[in-house]
Homo-oligomer: A and B are copies of this chain.
Amino acid sequence: MKWISDSRILIVGLGLIGGSYAKGLKRLGYHVTAIDTRQEAIDYALENHIINEGFTEVTEEVVSSADAVIFGLYPKVFLEWIERYQKFFKPGTMLTDVTGVKSCIVYKIQDMLRDDVEFIGSHPMAGREVYGVENADENIFRGANFILTPTEKNSPASIRWVGSLARILGFGRISVLSPEEHDEMIGYLSQLTHCIAVALMTCSDNEHLVDYTGDSFRDLTRIANINDVMWSELFMLNRESLLKYMDIFLDEFAALRDMVRDGNVPELREKMKLSTKRRAYFNRK
């Protein structure tokens, strides 16, 4: 499927990310249909011109009219959906997703999927600390990273297709990783950081911190406002990588604690110099 303007896109799961895809794609002129179990999500999206049409039921008529389907579902619901409704896809339909874990999803989907449709996993590295299509905003994609996770089952055409999707939505760097590399990376960059934010926020029950804080605590706890259903599911599905990085972090932090306790200023300064050097890689963006 090429990204030509009469392509019909189906978004399954009209949450923050699904809704932001819908908004961006509709603005670019594509025909966008959505399926979501929440009638209010569909109503909101229609009233705000985020989609062309929307449904709360999955029917052959709706699914088979799509040239491409983007799944914005929680991992387990995503697997169940494919199992139950893949019979409705028309031959040649291109599928991708926005799921935050990959190894446990991509292979299973590809194994169970019909031979005449193709699924390629992808992960837009963008989000907000609010949820639902009511907060959808296609500008969160502008310049953000985008990771696609092809396997041996994917065609070069599907890789070009999902890369084009990322480009037209305004993503910046588009990277190709294996599902395993993706999960390792995300265990560190995303899941570990969320664990840290939660642990930092639960260290104190003082309700007046907001009166004394500077920007650093505010920045480190922004993501402590967390969707517990979604993130606990993502953690469980990537437990090995996450645990690996939680343990590395525990060791690093405990070493720093010992340096403070022992008054070991030379080693403390070395660690700070190292962190400053490594953080500098981020300055080019």
Binding site for B on A (CB under 8 A): 125-127, 144-145, 147, 173, 175, 177, 185-186, 188-190, 192-205, 207, 209-229, 231-232, 235-236, 239, 242-243, 245-250, 252-257, 260-261, 263, 265, 268-269, 271-276, 278-282, 284-285
Q: What distance in Å separates the Cβ of A222 from its nearest Cβ neighbour in chain B?
A: 6
**Copies of chain A in the complex:** 2
B203 touches A189 (CB 8 A): no
Q: How far apart sit A145 and B227, CA to CA, in the bound complex (Å)?
A: 29
A-B contact pairs, 25 of them (CB 8 A): A125-B214, A144-B214, A145-B211, A173-B211, A189-B214, A193-B216, A193-B217, A195-B256, A196-B200, A200-B249, A200-B252, A202-B271, A203-B245, A203-B252, A207-B281, A209-B282, A219-B223, A225-B279, A226-B272, A232-B268, A239-B261, A243-B260, A246-B256, A250-B250, A250-B254
Note all chain B residues with C-beta closer than 8 A to A147: 212
- Secondary structure of the A contact surface, majority rule: helix
Known: A175-B212, A213-B189, A282-B218. A203 touches B248 (CB 8 A): yes
Q: How far apart sit A221 and B192, CA to CA, in the bound complex (Å)?
A: 12
Residue of B nearest to A266 (CB): B232
Q: What distance in Å separates the Cβ of A89 from its nearest Cβ neighbour in chain B?
A: 30
Q: What distance in Å separates the Cβ of A137 from its nearest Cβ neighbour in chain B?
A: 13
Q: How far apart sit A253 and B194, CA to CA, in the bound complex (Å)?
A: 11
Q: What distance in Å separates the Cβ of A194 from its nearest Cβ neighbour in chain B?
A: 7
